[in-house]
Structure 1
Amino acid sequence: MVSEVKQEMVRPLRDTLFSVDTVQEDFVFNERVVEVFDDMLDRSVPFYREVISSSARLLDSYLHSGDTVYDLGCSTGTTLLEFCRLLEDKGLHFVGIDSSGPMLEKAQLKAELYRKQESIRFIEEDITDMHHPDAGAFILNYTLQFIRPLRREAFLRNLHSSLRPGGILLLSEKIISHDQRLNREFIDIYHQFKKARGYSELEIAKKREALENVLIPFSIEENRSMLKQIGFTTVETYFQWFNFTSLIAVKAS
């Protein structure tokens, strides 16, 4: 009975947040977003599950038993729960960090439901003002784009200094192209992707309006250049679908 209650509490509602004529506020990670967030990710982020499984393969290759993986902006814990499943024999420690209490409450419930509460620790903390030295890996899944551009370099420098030698940063982001025609084409293809998953033209337009001043993407070149300037010796793309990409950045051993 307890398990059934937890299943009901963690089951995401269908995302209909933007099926309205007027957006009242910029996009924020509040209780209303938490309730639909997993559905939002599955229907809004291309190849979301495949990126997680690909990231797990890189963690398996680069990390050692006893290493700690930090998921920054972990939201409802989906990524860490999948890492636990895929890397259960690796001997890793998993920590999810988020500034949203409601997100972490949902993440903790999911960890308990799937009996992973001993494997994952959740911390409510501002990721731009944290100190977790000797990390094996930091995960930034569609998180950096929500940090103000002027603060990104200092934030990433802190992550670089906090990684152990040979540690890695896995960065997934929405991106822009500085070729205006290509950028328009990529956005249109992405909107077609969302329509195929049940979002209406109104919902797509209203969400874009809500995110306009909150989500500020860089190009692949800008992200790569920033990571190299900070000191990562290797920065490579391991996934791209039009205006979405994932990068691995490796700290020198």
Structure 2
Amino acid sequence: MSAKDSIYASEQQVKDFTFDAKVVEVFPDMIERSVPGYATIVSTLGKLAGKYAQDNSNLYDLGCSLGAVTLSMRRNLNQAGCEIIAIDNSEAMVERCRLHLEGFRSTVPVSVELGDILDAKLENASVVAMNFTLQFIEPEKRHALLSRIYNALKPGGVLLLSEKLRGENQVVDDLLIDLHHDFKRANGYSELEISQKRTAIENVMRTDTLGTHLTRLNEIGFSQTQVWYQCFNFCSMVAIK
């Protein structure tokens, strides 16, 4: 069991959110109480990886955090000669991810790398997962990163992309934010925690609208893009090359 997330429970000078050791300690609790349907998303990403993985190819988990998606993909893989490459730029996350993965036996090779996904070598890929990762990349660098992913994918390969969305207009955005805050209240977060977390993350996580995501994926060349999950302002989609 992870520790309970109480990082923003006391009044403080709020700094920009980072995936540091303090966050690593409470991350599973934070995610479960903050992202509606997170367990469903993770388990389904594993099933999609199992469906689209190709023999003798690489599967990438970009922004792997503690390795939940890597584990889910590994559990669902039956194809021959596959390797999973998990990458994160948080040293604390990578260390814990390696320990986490060692706790589960598997014949599928996994390498967990500390690095910036903007510089990562991507090749011979049949599946690339980015589970709530793109939203932390500078907006002006997203198109180039997704293009590199597209170019690294084999024909028939997939990008599995989960993101927090911004509403298409202010009215819709406010509605989605209100629903999400209600979800967090129902999971025991106080008004102070909700407010301080929002302040901490607003400079770090810049969300796109669903329209922006779909247009960009289409422009890059993905032949099919489908939203398979959405709850409030959280969404997961599959894009097929």
CA RMSD of aligned residues (A): 1.5
Letter in 2 for 1:153: H
Letter in 2 for 1:193: F
Change (3 A) 1:204 1:110: same
Letter in 2 for 1:89: N
1:89 counterpart residue number: 78
Identify the match of residue 128 of structure 2 among 126, 135, 138: 138
1:111, 1:117 within 8 Å by CA — same for their partners in 2?
Answer: no
1:49 counterpart residue number: 39
1:59-208 matches, cutoff 5 A: 59-85=49-75, 87-91=76-80, 92-116=82-106, 119-208=109-198
Structure 1 gaps, min length 5:
1-10
What's the secondary structure of 1:159's corresponding residue? helix
Count of residue pairs the alignment pairs up:
240
Q: 1:118: how far off?
A: 6.0
Structure 2 gaps, min length 5:
none
Letter in 1 for 2:215: S
In 2, the alpha carbon distance for the partners of 1:24 and 1:205 equals 10
Change (3 A) 1:99 1:243: same
In 1, the alpha carbon distance for the partners of 2:46 and 2:108 equals 19
- The percent of aligned pairs where both chains have the same amino acid is 38
2:87, 2:113 within 8 Å by CA — same for their partners in 1?
Answer: yes
TM-score by length of 2: 0.94
In 1, the alpha carbon distance for the partners of 2:226 and 2:31 equals 24
TM-score by length of 1: 0.90
Letter in 2 for 1:221: G
Is 1:217–2:190 an aligned residue pair?
A: no
Q: 1:120: how far off?
A: 2.0
What's the secondary structure of 1:123's corresponding residue? strand
1:40 counterpart residue number: 30
